[in-house]
Amino acid sequence: MSDLISMRDLSRNDVEAYLRHAEKMEKSLRSSSPPKPRNKIVATMFFEPSTRTHMSFWAAAERLGCRAISLSGDKSSSAKGETLSDTVRIMSGYADVLVLRHPLEGAARLAADVSSVPVVNAGDGGNQHPTQTLIDLYSILRLKKKISGLSVHLVGDLRHARAMRSLLYGLSMFGAKITLCSPKALAMSDEVVREVQEKFSPSIRTTHEINLRDCDVLYVCRIQKERFEDQYEAARLQDEFRITKEQISAAPDDLAILHPLPKIDELPADYDSDPHAKYFQQASWGVPVRMAVLDRVMGV
């Protein structure tokens, strides 16, 4: 049994194995012969709102011939005060895999420690979102055929966004040239930058100004309002940090814009049909990547 909790637990070989498996899954989705049914039960346990992660895990389970059952935090016994540990122990008696999203950091690790079945971290507070990173790396590979040496700009709320924190590990592992761009108050944690530098020696540049002249992949995320104590400050930063059409026009022609979604107004309005905008395609790759994740944690 293996869990998927954090990018920090994975080697480059592990990540490559996930990505190869995802490619097979994508091919199987396009072919007329679907994968052999796995006949397992996948339980999704979401204690925070989600559209893409929740639904793509559900769709991935169904595509694999599994049955999906779902527990929503506000309708579960956690509303009556049940601990997460107890909920996980109960659910691990009902399903073969648990997919957990929770607002507190370390919730997935705790779940993995007490569960008798594999646990997949679908986001734990501001800490990690490893399956999003696998989707992001898969998307970059599908769009650009490589990751090493690409100039990837991570732009937005780098302090609170778990997708950014996880992705920094993933990109560093593969030798991308990384630019971290955020308002000063929302910079990536120094400790995280230091750790990836010590582990992978990537090229990392930090800036507070958006300049996309050398950018191959622009990865944007929204200001994570739900992680702010001061909502006025969140709204102010959201207004202050927007990417303009002029900034994008300075980028190379084959720029790919990715976003973990949901997007608010950090990208120009009416930009979704622009050829640079790849985020809906990226979201669609969530299904084959999460099929691969479920398969691998189930030992298929």
Partner 1 sequence: MPLTVQKISNGTVIDHISAGRGFLVMRILGIAESYSDRVALLTNVPSKAMGKKDIIKIEGRLIDKKTADRIALLAPQATINHISNANIVSKKLVEIPSQIDGIFKCPNPKCITNAERVTTNFAVEKNQKLRCHHCERLFAAEELVA
**Shortest separation between residue 156's beta carbon and partner 1, angstroms:** 20
Write out the binding residues for partner 1, residues 1-40 only, by CB under 8 A.
6, 8
The reply to whether 12 belongs to the active site is: no
107 belongs to the binding site for partner 1 (CB under 8 A): yes
130 belongs to the binding site for partner 1 (CB under 8 A): no
The reply to whether 142 belongs to the active site is: no
**104 vs 143, which CB is nearer to partner 1?**
104
In whole angstroms, give the CA distance from residue 44 to residue 69: 6
187 belongs to the binding site for partner 1 (CB under 8 A): no
In whole angstroms, give the CA distance from residue 7 to residue 129: 8
Residue of the chain from 39, 51, 77, 83 that contacts partner 1 (CB under 8 A): 83
Nearest to 114 by CA among 90, 95, 144: 90
In whole angstroms, give the CA distance from residue 239 to residue 264: 10
In whole angstroms, give the CA distance from residue 171 to residue 279: 18
| CA quadruple 150, 151, 156, 160: dihedral sign | positive
Write out the binding residues for partner 1, residues 190-209 only, by CB under 8 A.
191, 195
In whole angstroms, give the CA distance from residue 287 to residue 272: 21
**Shortest separation between residue 85's beta carbon and partner 1, angstroms:** 6
Nearest to 289 by CA among 92, 140, 147: 140
**Shortest separation between residue 126's beta carbon and partner 1, angstroms:** 7
The reply to whether 53 belongs to the active site is: yes
Q: Which residues are known catalytic residues?
A: 52-53, 80, 101, 129
Residues that bind partner 1 (CB under 8 A): 6, 8, 83-85, 102-107, 109-110, 124-128, 191, 195
